[in-house]
Structures are given as C-alpha cells and as structure tokens.
C-alpha cells in the first residue's frame, strides 16, 4: 500500500481514528492525546514515582496492573498496532463519563489528576485537538454528500446503497495496513461516477485489484479514489471540480459485481469517509 507517511504516523492516525470510533471518543481528541504523549511501540519511560509509561499511548504500569484481572498483560501496551490505542480510548472514555470537572480536564486526567500536571496538559491537548479537528474537517465526507445536493451528484447517484464499510487494521508485527480501505457503493453498471472533491486527476487507468481506477488529488494531502470502473472519462492531469463525471460504474479488477469502491486518503493513509462525524 503506497504511503508517504512514516509507519509510526500511519499507525498513530489510523489507530487513533479507529479506536476513537470504537469507544466514542472524538478522533481529534484521540489524535491530540496520541501526539501529546508522543509514544511509540516499545517505548518505556520511567516516572519519578517508580512507575513506567509504556508504548504508543504511554500507558502507566500502575493502571495496566489493574487490567491483569481482565487477562490484559502490561506488555500489550508496548506492542505495535491498534491495541494500545484501544486501551487508551477505553480509558479516556471512562474519564469523560465518570470524572468531575469540564470536558478537557476529564480528558487530561488521562495524564494526571493532579491539578499542577493536569492544567498544562489540558491546555496543550485543547490546542492540538483544535488543529486536528481542522485537519479532519478537510476531508469529512458524509453520506449526504453522495446525494443530489448538486446538479451532478457525487460520487454516486442519490439512490445509493453501501454494501461494505470501512475497516482497517494495523498488523501488530508487520505494521502492514490491511482490511477494507474504502466504502463499497452498489450502483447499476454504467452509472456515472462523479468526483467528490475539487482536484487534479493523478491516476486514470488500470491498477491491479482496483481495476480501472481514477485518483483525484485535492488540497492538503487529500486524495480520493474511484475503483472498479467500466469506463474512464478523464486523463491524468485533468482538473476536476466536485461533481465532475470521471467515469462509470463497473466491475473491473477484484470485484464480484458492479459497484463503486470509494476511498479517501490523507498522504497515502486511507481514512474512513464516514467516520469523521465527531
């Protein structure tokens, strides 16, 4: 899978968003905490009180010890992959639901309940979350965007039906990202497919399992992909706007019937087009 972000960042972004979705923590909050922690797989930092912070989300050994009764070993926090993010998201969710104080104080309890440590952390994650929110908003694509709000609907006609959702996993050992990198939208063979964003066509042709595929690069490192097309009606270098027809629904490549595979990427990392509604 092509990607120009280093693996640590791919994992941080994909796992933060996925774990946040799973436990109801906004993606921007997860990303803010993850970047503030600045952890990575295998990283151990010692604290003045004799405990250690482990792994990507710098989970504290004192807290991890309390998970032993659930059969979760402390070393799980050190591993690559999304598991440590899920532990962190679960913990942040509990802080938000159960703790006292305002929202950001609760989230900052992830770091420390002690006011002197909580306050600066709180201030930093508030700023970071705002930045991540702006970043996420750039490619927030909602189901309504597929409908007829514009003369040329994008990227599929109003009567669409999603047949397969987004689901990415980061392999704990190889770091490889696998799973379904986009959304599958059922549509009749030949249905016009329209670009969901302004941009320039960077790929228009056969691409392995994608079959006939168009990729549109937009501002801020965002790209959208339209795969399994029966026909392509743009060339590489073509400037498109939201709603420009770029081809027609087909079943080329790794596909069992006519549908559109729609994918949104940030600098090569597939992002859930529907999962950024927080």
Nearer to Zn ion, 261 or 265 (CB): 261
According to DSSP H, which parts of the chain are helical?
7-23, 27-37, 61-65, 83-98, 103-108, 115-137
Tell me: does residue 261 bind Zn ion (CB under 5 A): yes
Nearer to Zn ion, 53 or 184 (CB): 184
Nearer to Zn ion, 111 or 261 (CB): 261
Nearer to Zn ion, 11 or 184 (CB): 184
Asked whether 227 and 247 are in contact (CB, 8 A), the reply is no
According to DSSP H, which parts of 82-155 are helical?
83-98, 103-108, 115-137
Helix (H) or strand (E) holding 138: none
Least separation in angstroms between residue 228's CB and Zn ion is 8
Least separation in angstroms between residue 177's CB and Zn ion is 15
Least separation in angstroms between residue 58's CB and Zn ion is 35
Residues 158-197, mask of contacts with Zn ion (x by CB under 5 A): --------------------------x-------------
**Nearest in space to 269 (alpha carbons), one of 27, 24, 23:** 27
Q: Which stretch binds Zn ion (CB under 5 A): 37-45, 121-129, 197-205, 261-269?
A: 261-269
Q: Residue 14 has which token pair? A: 């994909």
Which burial class, exposed, middle or buried, applies to 231 when counting CB atoms under 10 A from its CB (0-12, 13-18, 19+)? middle
Q: Which residues bind Zn ion (CB under 5 A)?
A: 184, 261
């Amino acid at each position: 899978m092509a990607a120009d972000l280093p693996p640590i960042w791919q994992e941080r972004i994909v796992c933060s968003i996925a774990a946040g979705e799973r436990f109801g923590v906004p993606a921007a909050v997860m990303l803010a905490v993850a970047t503030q922690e600045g952890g990575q797989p295998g990283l151990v930092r010692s604290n003045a009180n004799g405990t250690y912070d482990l792994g990507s989300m710098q989970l504290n050994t004192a807290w991890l010890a309390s998970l032993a009764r659930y059969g979760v070993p402390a070393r799980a926090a050190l591993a690559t992959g999304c598991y440590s993010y899920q532990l962190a998201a679960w913990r942040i969710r509990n802080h938000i639901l159960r703790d006292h104080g305002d929202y950001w104080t609760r989230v900052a309890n992830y770091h420390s309940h002690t006011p002197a440590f909580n306050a600066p952390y709180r201030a930093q994650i508030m700023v970071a979350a705002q930045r991540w929110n702006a970043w996420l908003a750039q490619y927030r694509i909602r189901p309504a965007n597929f409908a007829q709000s514009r003369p040329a609907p994008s990227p599929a006609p109003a009567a669409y039906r999603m047949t397969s959702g987004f689901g990415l996993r980061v392999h704990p050992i190889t770091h490889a990202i696998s799973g379904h990198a986009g959304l599958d939208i059922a549509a009749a063979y030949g249905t016009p497919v329209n670009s969901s964003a302004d941009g320039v066509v960077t790929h228009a042709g056969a691409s392995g399992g994608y079959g006939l595929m168009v990729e549109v690069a937009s501002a801020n490192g965002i790209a959208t992909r339209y795969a399994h097309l029966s026909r392509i009606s743009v060339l590489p270098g073509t400037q498109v706007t939201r709603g420009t027809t770029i081809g027609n629904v087909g079943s080329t490549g790794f596909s069992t019937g006519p549908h559109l595979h729609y994918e949104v990427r940030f600098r090569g990392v597939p992002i859930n087009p529907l999962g950024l509604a927080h």
